[in-house]
Structure 1
Amino acid sequence: MNDFLKQNNSFPLEDSVDKIPIEDLRRYYCENLRDQSDDDTEIRELAARVLPEFDVEGDSYGVPGITEIVESLVLMIENLKK
């Protein structure tokens, strides 16, 4: 894989993207998407242990984002402290 991508585990800047072979960019973004998807799944599985299914999986009208799930968890913790 391209040295830039090995050294920088961050979004390639516009001025450096044209210097990176397209195959390396594809691999980089594919790996990042897989990691994000795995994190999303794991967070939902963990949250499902304490939140109602609707708060984690949503319904036919929409699915809550990860931020909404974390907000629900934080609210639950804050309420426990009271």
Structure 2
Amino acid sequence: MNQIISTDLISIFPNPSEDEVFIENQLDSDEYTIQIFDNMGRKIFETKTSESVYNARNAFEGRSPGLYLIKVITTKGTKILKLNKVK
């Protein structure tokens, strides 16, 4: 589905973050996709999960500080969130 979701039911925390990042999906209990892109637009991580709170630590360990985009794709639509990774 290509609809952009405008809701606070999908969120990331903490933001800014060092390594540990949680992606919370209160919108959809079905399986959904998480894609993470670096500041050059390269996809650095992708997974499918049905967890309401997903720990994305393994996607950010060892990554450089900077801005990352987290794309959450659900059956209800897509939401893109910005994460500021600090050292």
TM-score range (shorter-chain normalised) is: under 0.3
Which protein is richer in strand relative to its size?
2
Asked which structure has the greater RCO (Cα within 8 Å, sep 6+), the reply is 2
Larger-Rg structure: 1
Which protein is richer in helix relative to its size?
1
| TM-score, scaled to structure 1 | 0.22
